[in-house]
Amino acid sequence: MRSAVLFLLSLPLAAQQPVEVVKVVSKAIERKIPLPGEFIPYQTVAIHPKVTGFVDKVQIDRGSLVKKGQLLAKLVAPELKAQRLEAEAKVQAAQSQRAEAEARLVGAQSTYEHLKAASETPGVIAGNELVLAEKTVDAERAKVKAVEGFIEAAKASVDAVKDMENYLEVTAPFDGVITERNVHPGALVGPAGGANGTGMFQLEQNSRLRLVVAVPEVDVSGIAMGVHVPFTVPAYPGQTFLGTVARVPHSMDAKTRSMAVELDVANPRMQLAPGMYPTILWPVRRARPALLVPPTAIVTTTERTFVIRVRDGAVEWVNVTRGTPAGDLVEVYGPLSAGDAVVRRASDELREGARVSVKAS
């Protein structure tokens, strides 16, 4: 036994295993992931009339392109005409009353002036008569002012009815396309939308669209305002469109764990339409630079995933989590630092703690 031990000690030390190493790279990476989206109109409104009336004429139909202020439909409301005529009659009656009141005021003023002139001769008239005449003038002047106030109120009533009559013309609140027409001549409509509660028309602004994208929670950190994002739609295979990140709600959907980000999409040729489901190539940016290694440097066993770091000539197994590919490298997460030396072609046969020598590459 002693001779065997002496024999082993007399053997030369085994040469250290040579390994080829690479440096862990740290850099910002960007990748694109396909995400589903949905188009919605930039503006949409159900158009209701401001007054109740019967539809007389409809100037447009489904699919009509309209401009802001364009006439869509005309209504008739006979009771409004009757109210206007009544208000105008009150104005005329009040103006007649004002003429009479002004005539009485002129008469009272004339009587007062004559009495005042006569009172300059002592004893011609009693002093009380002059006072009464002056009071009569004040009373008639007050009546004229009262009638003028009534006239102004009557004119305001006429203007109010005329404004209501102007509402019988239903116009477009903005440029857009009529996507629904729910009325025909003879229909009774009103501010509440009639019996079925729907509007007369549905107007959408589709020359500019909102593209809503549900961005997963893990990727929201890379959202940047104003970024141009490409997308495709099944209706135009092989064609790529662009949208601009315009609105970020900064709120997560608790059910889907995603954030509904809105992109603005110009649609001057009306190729795109609300309800389409495009595929967005969403750019994913990390807040911090990623650590990258060659895929051959990652070892995966039934128990763990790791890379083999070489430090001071000794082997260390460092547990990592594999990320996404970035060209010829792979992103990894773990207790590594940029510049660490890891074995290029790693294997679990290279046991932890083994001594190695770095082979020139």
User: Residues of the chain with pLDDT > 90: what percent?
Assistant: 45
Least confident of 29-33, 176-180, 319-323: 29-33
| Tens digits of residue pLDDT in 96-150 | 777 777 777 777 777 767 766 766 677 666 667 767 877 777 787 887 788 778 7
Q: Can you tell me whether residue 321 is helix, strand or coil?
A: strand
- Structural domain boundaries enclosing 267: 30-42+202-285
Are residues 188 and 330 located together in one domain of the fold? no
Average of pLDDT values for 223-235? 91
* 3-class DSSP assignment, residue 229: strand
Do 208 and 280 lie in one domain? The reply is: yes
Closest CA to 250 of 275, 225, 226, 230: 225
Banded pLDDT at 234 (limits 50, 70, 90): very high
CATH of the domain at 263: 2.40.30.170
Question: Quick check: is 3 in a domain?
Answer: no
CA-based nearest residue to 80, from 38, 118, 49, 59: 49
**So what's the pLDDT on residue 40?**
95
User: Does residue 11 have a pLDDT over 60?
Assistant: no
Across 40-54, 75-89, 102-116, 239-253, least confident range: 102-116
Is the pTM higher than 0.85? The answer reads no
Residue 262 lies in a domain: yes
Residues 115 and 156 in one domain: yes
Least reliable range by pLDDT among 4-8, 112-116, 341-345: 4-8
DSSP string, 231-278: EE-TTSTT--EEEEEEE-----BTTTTEEEEEEEEE-TT----TT---
Q: Calculate what percentage of the chain has a pLDDT beyond 70.
A: 89
Residues 66 and 195 in one domain: yes
My answer on whether 20 and 96 are in the same domain is: no
Higher pLDDT, 8 or 92: 92
Q: Does 5 reside within a domain?
A: no
Q: What is the pLDDT at residue 8?
A: 36
Who wins on pLDDT, 178 or 7? 178
> In the listed set 243, 258, 285, which residue is the last one of a domain according to the structure?
285
The pLDDT score that the predictor gives to residue 141 is: 80
- Rounded to an integer, the average pLDDT of 172-199 is 84
| End position of a domain, from candidates 251, 285, 319 | 285
Answer with the one of 199, 218, 241 that is the final residue of a domain: 199
Same domain, 113 and 172: no
Q: Which CATH number covers residue 339?
A: 2.40.420.20
Are 128 and 250 within one domain? no
> Could you give the 3-state DSSP secondary structure of residue 37?
strand
Q: The domain that contains 55 carries what CATH number?
A: 2.40.50.100
Q: What pLDDT score was predicted for residue 195?
A: 43
* Domains held by the chain: number: 4
Report whether pLDDT(219) > 60: yes
Q: Is 53 in the same domain as 176?
A: yes
Tell me, yes or no, whether 153 lies in a domain: yes
261-290 tens-digit pLDDT: 999 999 999 999 999 999 999 888 766 788
Same domain for 212 and 271: yes
Residue 232 clears pLDDT 50, i.e. is over it: yes
209-227: average pLDDT:
88
275 in any annotated domain: yes
Q: Mean pLDDT for the chain?
A: 84
Is residue 58 located within the same domain as residue 175? yes
Co-location of 207 and 280 in the same domain: yes
76-104 pLDDT, tens digit each: 888 877 777 777 777 777 777 777 777 77
Q: Cα–Cα distance between 165 and 51 in angstroms, integer?
A: 8
pLDDT of the residue at 310:
92
Do 227 and 351 lie in one domain? The reply is no
Question: 223: pLDDT confidence band, cut at 50, 70 and 90?
Answer: confident
Give domain status of residue 105, yes or no. yes
6 domain-assigned: no
Q: Where on the phi/psi map is residue 257: left (φ > 0), alpha (ψ -120 to 50), or beta?
A: left
Does 69 score more than 80 pLDDT?
A: yes
